[in-house]
């Protein structure tokens, strides 16, 4: 299996060049001012330019490799000069196995063998990250690239937040730079911050008065964005031994503005919202499993494409799918991935509309819908399954009418119509005999 | 029942201190610069600081009480100095019984007795507000606090908009300060204003050219935000004797920019949209009541937790619930609370996408869904109810299979499996005898 | 049929006045400073004021006509001075038949005959635009005005983007001016741009660093906003002979910042996302047609109000309705109009959350829901249709109970109750005889 050897090539170069070594930039600029004008412009306005960190420093000198897209500038290229940022980044969720799907590309028919380097050290088959993502495995390569890896490359690429050639901290200190990924139905942290008291103060006064994402989650410039978090990324509370010190960490941040007692009461209340919401989710999961155990899901796992990780089994944990599944499981997906997440994240970000209307109310309506679908499925179970699974047999006339509809709207040719019609009529004759 | 006596303590102090009386601030600051730095910083930058309105003026001097959270600074603390704002606020919806749930906390198992003061004058059992909110009564205390009262405290607390220690009008004149509450699926006034012509002009030019929430709803600095409104907060048009003068009031605001004739035509058109939308809602309500009257809701009110205000009855008015209800009622909830509101508020705020796609189109799709569910429920009615309500009896094998599923995935222990299996088989043997 | 003759009146005036001719503005201002203060203020701050383009220049001098609302300032009034903008506008979708519904007003009972001028040249019955919109035809006049024409007047009115009296380019160069129409569930280009890398750079740095709508879609100030687009407004890819040159056009824009090879790879990937998404849509359409052909839609086209353009037929093309339809067709509407559009527009605008969660994931969940509804409809087909269509006959007691419910909650009077009850009992007696 071919692996990306570019780091091995680049690292010695970095060592030779040293932090302020000027490389022969003259060779790149004449062409690249034409070919990638924004990159050159951004670099010329950057701290890298001032510090004489030139193209070669990050990209190396093997132009053929660059053209093949193999000279990727990942976090290890940045680390030697930005060691503290790198180290704290690696301690955070951003730096650990977040790129869920990369490691799974071996299962894809048209994968790029260079992707191996995202989960394996050169020469090793041991995964750097054990995370596998069933949702990623269901995607096309293209959707996986834009829909998954565009954000989940944060593990490997500092440019994911900092942009490719800019170094200005104004951009990465603005929550809009986080919004690129932290938005949408599953984790709308940007939206809920923007319309919270914290965010509204930022809109009016800027970061001095209005706390940003960075103020609370990257205090003192730390890149450990998981600092002070007391639950997994799927919203499962940590055990006390892990949660307690994390809570104290976060309270340290809160107390730079608020009385600690006030902040503790707020966060404890949010914990309660989380626990109450989880009870609702568990009730829904139980309903789905009961239907499964009685063979009433429509379709059952055995009658649909297998789950990429678990095969023909029901999966309701964090690997729950939203495709090739039953209606009730897709309702559970919405409940867990969207509405549970919004309720608890809304609470911890002090946003009443996200906590209640876009969170809790949706969560409870999901439960109503899941119970209703369960009732329908149980009710259908009294109808003989064989009859329900197909169009009723007594519909010869219906078959002929359907055929007539098709030819009339041009979906089949008159010849096909005659052929199919003859087939149906022959069956009738056959039966009569 | 213990009530909050703090106002009685504070008011004489206020009288003594007078608008410019300097209190001994020195006692608070040394500690609070450490403990609540943002509060001190904001106060020091405030008009209160300049006018020598010190900590004691609003918070009193009983530190024990403050620590117990009883020295709440509500609107009556602000009123003596801000009488006009207080008076106009009290005339508006913001000042009248909006905090729907507060008065109902007596029904909650773990309520805080201090909450009584939000609905009762000291020593009186007569409610200040007759509003009771079924949705609030269904909430946990914690969800009620963040999901309901965070916004609905606007009746009692000037800080709800003005923040606790800031006095800068720049903040409260920016629509983002309204967004904290006036957003989301039920009343996204902020979102629809932001992307309207009015809001887009504000984004580019600021409030001089782009009218804000405050421009139209708080003209001349009035705090009567219900000025010029011609419908209830549930979207029911006022009777002509109330609606007509309100319309003329609003036209007075419009005509500070627009020709009155133009504005009148626009608002009259919006009235028509409101009336047409209400017809759709009424059609849906009728369908739900017909199903109810024929005993076809699933579940019927008798078979679910009682409505907090009405018991085991169908409720489709403004106390309609989104939880512990049937699927078709929850569809009606979405229709009334979200889509009807968005259609008419979208029209009055001149936002085509909210009026049509996020309003009218959703409203009409709700009706399609409600009719479809009604058809399903009627169709199921031909299946004997007893059979539909439970898993078909002829499923002994299914029961054994379900049990096997459970042990295989570790949901029950092998011992539990054997015990349950034996029970089922015994029943068979019992039946055979 | 009366037509708008105002252009014939205005055009000669324009010719006489010339670009810098000062008209007797003094007559308008004294009144209009009072009556339309914002209009006067905006005009006084405009380039028109500086260039002595006065009221008469655009509005003519027939005040009676203005009061009747007939002196509409459409694009042809602007064209003589802004020929290049007019010409390029006319080449774009903005300038061609976008105002889908205008041409159809002859079908409305209460149409305004002046609207004819939006689709017909004076004295001609040939439509300028052949577009007819079934969704518009279903709307009330008022909803059509605010919900449809507020945006779709872009064909006729420069003011649709530029505002009525402002000429400042700062406004129309800000994407918020596009947001007024290009937002919401069907085409949230503003939202997806705002939270993309392009938009986030704009938020931090402004248009110099962050590309706007205008940067890519109106390069060099061209008003041909369809420049470089490779698909129809319904998301159907153009044939290669049209798509290829358009793609090269857009790459020319991309390459003013990016390497062309990079941009081509990105856009090619987005094409793949489009094709894959279309396959999902086609699968759903097939399911709906199969149900239709077997007479299983609920209700079938014959049992509901006719489609405004196609009558009692199933329509799943771009004229698909969201009202007076079956549940499964309304699911298809959501899929095609909202989720397909968001997936592909999200990809082309480099927004991962819109491409995946708000696009692709919704698209696939739609398919799950459509299959589930199809399964329900097929399953119901085994229940005799006659029985399913009505409340079961054996429900005399239910009828009496329903009647009792109604009188108890005050929906009918006691007299009506007795009358209706007698009727039901009489039927029983009648049957017994």
**DSSP codes joined into one string, C404-419:** HHHHHTTSS-HHHHHH
CB atoms within 10 A of CB B162: 18
- The 3 state secondary structure assigned to C232-247 is CCCCCECCHHHHHHHH
Name the residue among C293, C358, C375 with its Cβ closest to that of A405: C293
Query: Do B144 and B39 belong to one domain?
Result: yes
- C47 at interface of B, judged by CB pairs closer than 8 A: no
Domain membership of residue B174 (yes or no) is: no
Nearest CA in chain C to B291: C402
Is C38 in Cβ contact with B258 (below 8 Å)? yes
Taking the CA of residue A181 and the nearest CA in chain B, the distance in Å comes to: 20
Instruction: Tell me which of A105, A134, A162 is where a domain ends.
Output: A162
Stretch B116-140: mean pLDDT: 67
Is B368 in Cβ contact with C323 (below 8 Å)? yes
Stretch B100-122: mean pLDDT: 50
What part of A 249-278 touches B (C-beta under 8 Å)? Answer: 255-260, 269-270, 272-273, 276
What part of B 343-362 touches C (C-beta under 8 Å)? Answer: 347, 350-358, 360-361
In whole angstroms, what is the distance from residue C236 CA to residue C275 CA? 9
Query: Do A21 and A147 belong to one domain?
Result: yes
Stretch C321-335: mean pLDDT: 98
Tell me how far CA of residue A353 lies from CA of A18, A256, A346, B149, in angstroms: 52, 26, 8, 11
Helix, strand or coil for residue A181? coil
In a mutational test of the C interface, the residue from B372, B377, B384 whose CB has the highest number of chain C CBs within 10 Å is B372
What part of B 378-417 touches A (C-beta under 8 Å)? Answer: 380, 383-384, 387-392, 395, 398-399, 401-403, 405-406, 409, 411
In a mutational test of the C interface, the residue from B379, B383, B388 whose CB has the highest number of chain C CBs within 10 Å is B379
Q: C14-72, pLDDT tens digit by residue?
A: 333 333 333 455 689 999 999 999 999 999 999 999 999 999 999 999 999 888 777 88
Give pLDDT, residue B390.
42
Query: Do C138 and C15 belong to one domain?
Result: yes
Stretch B336-360: mean pLDDT: 97
Name the residue among C258, C353, C381 with its Cβ closest to that of A391: C381
In whole angstroms, what is the distance from residue B81 CA to residue B83 CA? 6
Give the range among A74-88, B318-332, C9-23 with minimum mean pLDDT: C9-23
Greatest mean pLDDT among B34-38, B286-290, B402-406: B286-290
Sorting pLDDT into bands at 50, 70 and 90, what band is B113? Answer: low
Residue A3 predicted with pLDDT over 50: no
Give the DSSP letter string of A335-385.
IIIIIIHHHHHHHHTT-HHHHIIIIIHHHHHHHHHHHHHHHHHHHHTTS-H
Query: Phi and psi (nearest 5°) for C285?
Result: -60, -40
Instruction: Tell me which of B132, B162, B192 is where a domain ends.
Output: B162
Residue A189 predicted with pLDDT over 90: yes
Query: Do C69 and C128 belong to one domain?
Result: yes
Q: Which residues of C touch B371 (CB under 8 A)?
A: 327
Taking the CA of residue B234 and the nearest CA in chain C, the distance in Å comes to: 21
Give pLDDT, residue C65.
87
Domain membership of residue C189 (yes or no) is: yes
In whole angstroms, what is the distance from residue C128 CA to residue B86 CA? 58
Task: Give me chain B's average pLDDT, please.
Answer: 84
Give the range among A75-89, A370-384, B353-367 with minimum mean pLDDT: A370-384
User: Which is more confidently placed, B92 or B357?
Assistant: B357
In whole angstroms, what is the distance from residue C343 CA to residue C337 CA? 11
Give pLDDT, residue C204.
95
- B185 at interface of A, judged by CB pairs closer than 8 A: yes
Query: Do B25 and B129 belong to one domain?
Result: yes
Q: A81-131, pLDDT tens digit by residue?
A: 999 999 999 888 888 765 443 433 443 344 455 655 655 666 665 555 544
| Percent of chain C residues past pLDDT 70, beyond the cut | 81
Is B185 in Cβ contact with A358 (below 8 Å)? yes
In whole angstroms, what is the distance from residue C274 CA to residue C271 CA? 5
Domain membership of residue C214 (yes or no) is: yes
Residue C149 predicted with pLDDT over 90: no
Q: A202-236, pLDDT tens digit by residue?
A: 999 999 899 999 999 999 999 999 999 999 888 88
Query: Do C259 and C272 belong to one domain?
Result: no
Length of chain A counted residue by residue: 433
Give pLDDT, residue C101.
39
Beta bridge partners of C120: C127
Nearest CA in chain B to A367: B323
What part of C 195-234 touches B (C-beta under 8 Å)? Answer: none
Is A293 in Cβ contact with B176 (below 8 Å)? no
Give pLDDT, residue C122.
66
Torsion of CA B62, B66, B72, B78, to 10 degrees: 50
| Percent of chain C residues past pLDDT 90, beyond the cut | 60
Q: Which residues of C touch A388 (CB under 8 A)?
A: 378-379, 382
Q: Which residues of B touch C420 (CB under 8 A)?
A: none
Domain membership of residue A37 (yes or no) is: yes
Stretch A240-250: mean pLDDT: 95
In whole angstroms, what is the distance from residue B191 CA to residue B183 CA? 7
Torsional sign, CA A55, A56, A62, A66: negative
Query: Do B130 and B60 belong to one domain?
Result: yes
Residue A288 predicted with pLDDT over 60: yes
Tell me how far CA of residue B174 lies from CA of A277, B90, B178, B179, in angstroms: 34, 22, 8, 9
Q: Which long-range contacts (CB under 8 A, 24 or more apart) does B196-202 make?
A: B196/B349, B196/B350, B196/B351, B196/C180, B197/B350, B197/C163, B197/C180, B198/B349, B198/B350, B199/B175, B199/C176, B200/C171, B200/C174, B200/C176, B200/C177, B200/C179, B200/C180, B201/C163, B201/C171, B202/B175
In whole angstroms, what is the distance from residue B432 CA to residue C142 CA? 72
Domain membership of residue C171 (yes or no) is: no
CB atoms within 10 A of CB B247: 20
Give pLDDT, residue C267.
97
Is B184 in Cβ contact with A257 (below 8 Å)? no
Instruction: Tell me which of A264, A280, A302 is where a domain ends.
Output: A264
Give pLDDT, residue C128.
56
Q: C421-433, pLDDT tens digit by residue?
A: 888 888 766 554 4
Give the DSSP letter string of C203-224.
HHH-TTTS--HHHHHSGGG---
Task: Give me chain A's average pLDDT, please.
Answer: 84
Domain membership of residue A404 (yes or no) is: yes
A410: left (phi over 0), alpha (psi -120 to 50) or beta: left
Q: What does the block give as tokens for B118?
A: 């939000």
Residue pair C311/C154 in contact (Cβ under 8 Å)? The answer is no
Residue pair A136/A107 in contact (Cβ under 8 Å)? The answer is no
Give pLDDT, residue B433.
43
Stretch A71-85: mean pLDDT: 91
Residue A280 predicted with pLDDT over 80: yes
Sorting pLDDT into bands at 50, 70 and 90, what band is B123? Answer: low
Cα A118 → chain centroid: 17
Residue C110 predicted with pLDDT over 60: no
In whole angstroms, what is the distance from residue C369 CA to residue A331 CA? 9
In a mutational test of the B interface, the residue from A257, A342, A357 whose CB has the highest number of chain B CBs within 10 Å is A357
Q: Which candidate, B209, B210, B212, B230, places its Cα nearest to that of B221?
A: B212
Query: Do A64 and A198 belong to one domain?
Result: no
Residue C304 predicted with pLDDT over 90: yes
In whole angstroms, what is the distance from residue A406 CA to residue C221 CA? 49
Residue pair A148/A100 in contact (Cβ under 8 Å)? The answer is yes
pTM: 0.86
- C375 at interface of B, judged by CB pairs closer than 8 A: no
ipTM, two decimals, is 0.84
Name the residue among A196, A273, A293 with its Cβ closest to that of B143: A273
In whole angstroms, what is the distance from residue A93 CA to residue A227 CA? 9
Residue pair C109/C43 in contact (Cβ under 8 Å)? The answer is no
Is A323 in Cβ contact with C367 (below 8 Å)? yes
- Residue B209 lies in domain: 181-264
Number of domains in chain A: 4
Query: Do B46 and B194 belong to one domain?
Result: no
Is C383 in Cβ contact with B197 (below 8 Å)? no
- B333 at interface of A, judged by CB pairs closer than 8 A: yes
Q: Which residues of A touch B383 (CB under 8 A)?
A: 379, 382-383
The number of CA neighbours under 13 Å toward the Cβ of B270 is 26
Residue pair B322/C117 in contact (Cβ under 8 Å)? The answer is no
Task: Supply the CATH number for residue C289's domain.
Answer: 1.20.850.10
Q: What does the block give as tokens for C401?
A: 């109970």
Residue that is written with structure tokens 């329908």 in the block: A376
Residue pair B327/B298 in contact (Cβ under 8 Å)? The answer is yes
Sorting pLDDT into bands at 50, 70 and 90, what band is C118? Answer: low
Q: Which residues of A touch B163 (CB under 8 A)?
A: 197, 201
Length of chain B counted residue by residue: 433
In a mutational test of the B interface, the residue from C175, C184, C288 whose CB has the highest number of chain B CBs within 10 Å is C184
Residue pair A351/A358 in contact (Cβ under 8 Å)? The answer is no
Domain membership of residue B415 (yes or no) is: yes
Stretch C138-160: mean pLDDT: 89
Query: Do C363 and C400 belong to one domain?
Result: no
Nearest CA in chain A to B179: A195
- C285 at interface of A, judged by CB pairs closer than 8 A: no
Query: Do B340 and B418 belong to one domain?
Result: no
Q: Which residues of B touch C298 (CB under 8 A)?
A: 372, 375
Query: Do B12 and B121 belong to one domain?
Result: yes
Domain membership of residue C168 (yes or no) is: no
Q: Which chains touch A (3 or more CB pairs under 8 A)?
A: B, C
Beta bridge partners of A307: A311
Give the DSSP letter string of C122-148.
TT--SBS-----HHHHTS-HHHIIIII
- A185 at interface of C, judged by CB pairs closer than 8 A: yes
Torsion of CA C424, C428, C429, C430, to 10 degrees: 90
Residue pair A40/A55 in contact (Cβ under 8 Å)? The answer is no
Q: B187-211, pLDDT tens digit by residue?
A: 999 999 999 999 999 999 999 899 9
The number of CA neighbours under 13 Å toward the Cβ of A203 is 22
In whole angstroms, what is the distance from residue A89 CA to residue B117 CA? 49
Say whether the peptide bond before residue B164 is cis (omega within 30 degrees of 0).
no
Q: Which residues of B touch C330 (CB under 8 A)?
A: 365, 368-369
In whole angstroms, what is the distance from residue C94 CA to residue B366 CA? 31
Residue B104 predicted with pLDDT over 80: no
């Amino acid at each position: 299996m071919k692996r990306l050897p570019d780091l091995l090539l680049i690292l010695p170069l970095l060592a030779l060049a040293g932090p302020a070594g000027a490389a022969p930039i003259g060779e790149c600029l004449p062409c690249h001012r034409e070919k990638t004008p924004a990159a050159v412009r951004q670099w010329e306005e950057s701290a890298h330019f001032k510090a004489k960190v030139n193209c070669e420093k990050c990209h190396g000198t093997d132009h053929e490799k660059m053209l093949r897209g193999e000279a990727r500038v990942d976090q290890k290229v940045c680390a030697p000069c930005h060691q503290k940022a790198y180290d704290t980044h690696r301690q955070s969720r951003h730096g650990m196995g977040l790129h869920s799907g990369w490691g799974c590309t071996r299962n894809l028919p048209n994968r790029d063998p260079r992707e191996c380097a995202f989960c394996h050290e050169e020469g090793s088959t041991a995964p750097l990250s054990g995370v596998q993502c069933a949702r990623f495995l269901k995607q096309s390569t293209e959707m996986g690239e834009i829909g998954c890896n565009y954000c989940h490359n944060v593990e490997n690429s500092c440019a994911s937040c900092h942009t490719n050639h800019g170094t200005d901290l104004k951009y990465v200190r603005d929550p809009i730079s986080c919004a690129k990924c932290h938005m949408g139905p599953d984790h709308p942290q940007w939206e809920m911050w923007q319309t919270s008291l914290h965010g509204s103060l930022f809109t009016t006064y800027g970061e001095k008065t209005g706390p940003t994402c960075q103020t609370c989650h990257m205090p003192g410039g730390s890149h450990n964005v998981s600092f002070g978090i007391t639950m997994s990324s799927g919203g499962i509370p940590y055990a006390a031994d892990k949660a307690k010190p994390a809570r104290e960490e976060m309270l340290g941040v809160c107390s730079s503005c608020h009385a600690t007692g006030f902040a503790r009461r707020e966060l404890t209340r949010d914990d309660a919202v989380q626990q109450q919401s989880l009870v609702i989710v568990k009730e829904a999961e139980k309903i789905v499993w009961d239907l499964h155990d009685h063979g009433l899901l429509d379709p059952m796992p055995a009658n649909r494409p297998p789950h990429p990780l678990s095969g023909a089994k029901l999966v309701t944990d964090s690997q729950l799918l939203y495709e090739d599944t039953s209606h009730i499981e897709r309702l559970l997906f919405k409940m867990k991935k969207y509405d549970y997440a919004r309720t608890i994240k809304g609470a911890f970000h002090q946003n009443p509309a996200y906590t209640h209307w876009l969170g809790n109310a949706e969560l409870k309506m999901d439960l109503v819908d899941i119970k209703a679908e369960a009732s329908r499925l149980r009710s259908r179970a009294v109808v003989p399954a064989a009859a329900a699974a197909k169009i009723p047999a007594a519909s010869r006339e219906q078959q002929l009418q359907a055929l007539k509809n098709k030819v009339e709207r041009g979906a089949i040719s008159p010849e096909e119509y005659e052929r199919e019609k003859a087939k149906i009529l022959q069956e009738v004759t056959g039966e009569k005999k």
